[in-house]
Amino acid sequence: MVIHESEAKSRAVYGEGLQNVRKKILVGPRQGFAGYLRQFTVEPGGHTPYHQHDWHHVVYVLEGRGSLRTEEGEQALQSGSVVYTAPGSLHGFRNTGSGVLRFLCLVPEKGDAYGTED
């Protein structure tokens, strides 16, 4: 199976602590995968909430500049950065650049927590 990211619908993500974030589900249970490969786009000044959950995830930054906030502080992100977040770890992403911050996020099936709206 081959899927092009342009075929996935981009949806606004809503919820407490979210600002100017959109999400595409590229692969998930509908394709027989026991998880989700999601693409997030965060506009300049946008961010995800500082939060934690009981699953791990892996992030790969495709484009832009941003920061990852954890209990250890803030770390810079740029194209090519890879992030592993362990279950229970506090974390949040912020776009610190002048263009979009775009990243892939791989989570288990229970890990698609953010609501979306068209």
Each residue of 42-86: pLDDT tens digit?
Answer: 999 999 999 999 999 999 999 999 999 999 999 999 999 999 999
The CA-based angle 3-43-72, given to 5 degrees, is 95
| pTM of the complete model | 0.92
The total number of structural domains that make up the chain = 1
Q: Is residue 2 part of a domain?
A: no
Q: Is residue 35 part of a domain?
A: yes
Residue 117 has pLDDT above 90, yes or no: no
Four-residue CA torsion sign, 56, 58, 63, 68: positive
Q: Which domain holds residue 41?
A: 7-117
Confidence class of residue 104 from pLDDT cuts 50, 70 and 90?
Answer: very high
CATH number, position 79: 2.60.120.10
